């Protein structure tokens, strides 16, 4: 697989680059995916949750990262987590905590159900028939042979990204806070990371 950059961001006369602080549940797949966007006219700061990958653990890591550094103009903080095995109550608590922290809408939740790899799968297909993390992995291996969490040598095209966004939006018709069934809201973050023209 080629590791070249296939899409670029065009910007106008802007004095600053948008900054996205992204705290992830996973320490391999999510960071290797979002690293790809560092090549564009945005700044991405990835926060690893370390040993505690629970939704509340990821929130704690984000808060610790931002403790002495309030968000400035053009900056947003995102938590990227899986539905996975976590109780709905814990996810709801994290969502409410982000809402309280974010009077100006600077803190966001991006959740994938069943897991982040479902978002990756949407770059290739609609994900029909996927209901578990195992289903997701099996389907993904059809497109990324030898897939073992690391995505550093897979580079989606701009068209791949737009198709994934479109597929995810179709599943998010109610514009819910987070997908209670199969789906992902990672598209809400990725839309901000790619060119919009």
Q: For the CA atoms of the chain, what is the radius of gyration?
A: 16
Task: Convert the pLDDT of each residue in 48-82 to its tens digit.
Answer: 888 888 999 999 999 999 888 888 878 999 999 99
Residue 194 has what DSSP assignment?
A: S
Does the residue 177 lie in any domain? yes
Does the residue 2 lie in any domain? no
Task: Convert the pLDDT of each residue in 124-173 to its tens digit.
Answer: 999 999 999 999 999 999 999 878 888 888 999 999 999 999 999 998 87
Does the residue 135 lie in any domain? yes
Domain membership of residue 106 as a residue range? 19-193
First-last CA distance in the chain: 28
Does the residue 188 lie in any domain? yes
Task: Convert the pLDDT of each residue in 28-53 to its tens digit.
Answer: 999 999 999 887 678 899 998 888 88
How big is the chain, counted in residues? Answer: 197
pLDDT confidence of 197, banded at 50, 70, 90? low
Does the residue 9 lie in any domain? no
Does the residue 13 lie in any domain? no
In sequence order, the β-bridge partners of residue 20 are: 44, 76
Q: ∠ CA(34), CA(55), CA(44), 5° rounding?
A: 20
3 vs 23, more confident = 23
The two three-digit tokens of residue 47, written as one number: 């926060």
Does the residue 12 lie in any domain? no
Report the predicted TM-score, pTM, of the whole model to 2 decimal places. Answer: 0.86
| SS3 (DSSP) at 148 | coil
* Number of Cβ within a 10 Å radius of residue 97: 19
Does the residue 78 lie in any domain? yes
Question: With 50 as the cut, is the pLDDT of residue 12 above it?
Answer: no
Question: Per the structure, how many domains does the chain have?
Answer: 1
pLDDT at 174: 62
């Amino acid at each position: 697989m080629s590791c070249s950059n296939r899409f670029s961001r065009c910007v106008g006369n802007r004095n600053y680059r948008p900054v996205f602080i992204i705290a992830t549940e996973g320490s391999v797949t999510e960071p290797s995916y979002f690293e790809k966007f560092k090549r564009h006219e945005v700044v991405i700061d990835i926060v690893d949750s370390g040993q505690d990958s629970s939704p509340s653990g990821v929130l704690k890591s984000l808060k610790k990262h931002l403790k002495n550094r309030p968000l400035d103009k053009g900056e947003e903080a995102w938590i990227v987590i899986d539905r996975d095995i976590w109780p709905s109550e814990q996810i709801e608590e994290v969502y409410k905590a982000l809402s309280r922290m974010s009077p100006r809408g600077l803190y966001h939740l991006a959740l994938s159900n069943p897991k982040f790899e479902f978002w990756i799968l949407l770059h290739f297909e609609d994900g029909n028939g996927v209901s578990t993390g195992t289903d997701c992995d099996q389907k993904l291996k059809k497109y990324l042979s030898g897939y073992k969490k690391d995505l550093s040598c897979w580079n989606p095209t701009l068209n791949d990204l737009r198709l994934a966004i479109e597929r995810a939006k179709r599943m998010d018709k109610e514009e819910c806070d987070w997908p209670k069934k199969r789906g992902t809201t990672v598209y809400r973050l990725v839309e901000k990371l790619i060119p919009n023209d």
